[in-house]
Structure 1
Amino acid sequence: MRRYLKPLLSAPLSTLALLGLWLLLQGSLAPDQVLLGAGLALAITAAAHPFWPVRQRPRRPLLIARYLWRLAVDIVIANLRIAALILSPSRHPQPAFVELPLTLTEPFALYLLATTISLTPGSLSAELSDDRRLLLLHLLDAPTPADAAAECAKIKDHYERLLLEIFP
């Protein structure tokens, strides 16, 4: 019994997220669905727990709110820019691949950075180098190398710098 409770206590957000996903997929909050979903979430979390890497705890967890706020604002702004780009009859996107040098070393922080880049419209993280020092990005509109460099500088300043403060 203790073996099944350890993942629940060490990864409660994963268990709750799986339960929430189950309930959303079922479209019901009936007691039997909640019990079945909780059992499945607990079983999946317990089965997957040995395969999860040990994650570092955030050094400054209050900065996570600032990170999420910045991400939300940037997503709205990027959506408006992409809409203007697509709706403009005279402007055509000029995509480019660029390499972003990384300072981050913590695997979970790298995952968050790559996911953040992909969530923001107009950019996509394509590949992480084997040594985890370069992230290949696809930019929807980077007509000049200066534009690509400015986008990389923005990513490093807005996201990587903050992730370096949150995670050791």
Structure 2
Amino acid sequence: MKRWSGTLFLTALLLILWLVLNDGLERGQIALGLVIALVLSLLAPILRPVRAHPARPFLGMRLIVQVAIDIARSNWEVGLRILHGQRSLACPGFLDIPLRMHDPHGMAALACIVTFTPGTVWAGHDPETNILTLHVLDLHDPQGLTRIIQNRYEGPLMEIFE
């Protein structure tokens, strides 16, 4: 029953997305969207052999709020820097951060968090050493940024996914 509820939810979501993207409610678009959504929903489990089992939903919600605040703050700081012409004061560089997390879903979430935040980009990850490489627009405090990534993001993600 749980599998079917997920399939029905994904089918409905894909159908709604199809109709929004096609900007219409014609019978042909609904039928075509329903067929495409059903086929994609039935094929989706094949594409995701490793299932996520997140725990601690309230911690996940707190993490989402924290990430939203951090993204807004970073947007503000990068925007002010650009508006004031302070591009020359930036100290760009690469930063290697040792990670403790191994769950692929947590790593994907961390990649999204880091990349969504202006001024930082996920530049690479070495699975053997579990070291994350970031490109940072302003690398004045590498130890501070390492602590932020490890404590503010990686710690909660480990509690949620591992």
TM tier relative to shorter chain: 0.7 to 0.9
Match of 1:55 among 51, 54, 66: 51
Asked whether the equivalents of residues 114 and 125 of structure 1 are also in contact (C-alpha less than 8 Å), the reply is: yes
Residue equivalent to 1:44:
40
Q: Does 1:166 align with 2:140?
A: no
Residue equivalent to 2:64:
68
Residue equivalent to 2:145:
151
Residue equivalent to 2:135:
138
Asked whether the equivalents of residues 23 and 33 of structure 1 are also in contact (C-alpha less than 8 Å), the reply is: yes
* Per-residue Cα deviation, 1:65-96 (whole angstroms, up to 9, x for no partner): 11111111111101001011112234522211
Identity %: 34
1:110 CA drift (Å) = 0.5
1:23 CA drift (Å) = 2.3
Query: Mean Cα displacement is larger for which, 89-98 or 114-123?
Result: 89-98
* Per-residue Cα deviation, 1:146-168 (whole angstroms, up to 9, x for no partner): x1221121121211111111112
Counterpart of 1:158, as a letter, is: R
Match of 1:120 among 108, 117, 122: 117
Query: Mean Cα displacement is larger for which, 100-109 or 7-16?
Result: 7-16
Asked whether the equivalents of residues 8 and 42 of structure 1 are also in contact (C-alpha less than 8 Å), the reply is: no
Question: Which blocks of at least 5 consecutive residues in structure 1 are unaligned?
Answer: none
1:24 CA drift (Å) = 2.6
> CA RMSD, aligned part only?
2.4
Query: Mean Cα displacement is larger for which, 31-40 or 128-137?
Result: 31-40
**Matched residues in 1 for 2:84 and 2:26: separation?**
49
Distance 1:132 1:17, change over 3 A: farther
1:26-45 correspondence runs (5 A): 26-45=22-41
**Matched residues in 2 for 1:20 and 1:75: separation?**
28
**Matched residues in 1 for 2:10 and 2:118: separation?**
26
Q: Does 1:81 align with 2:71?
A: no
Counterpart of 1:69, as a letter, is: V
Question: Which blocks of at least 5 consecutive residues in structure 2 are unaligned?
Answer: none
Asked whether the equivalents of residues 7 and 42 of structure 2 are also in contact (C-alpha less than 8 Å), the reply is: no
Instruction: Give the alignment's TM-score, normalised by structure 2.
Output: 0.85
Q: What secondary structure, in the 3-state scheme, does the structure 1 residue paired with 2:57 have?
A: coil
Q: What secondary structure, in the 3-state scheme, does the structure 2 residue paired with 1:118 have?
A: helix
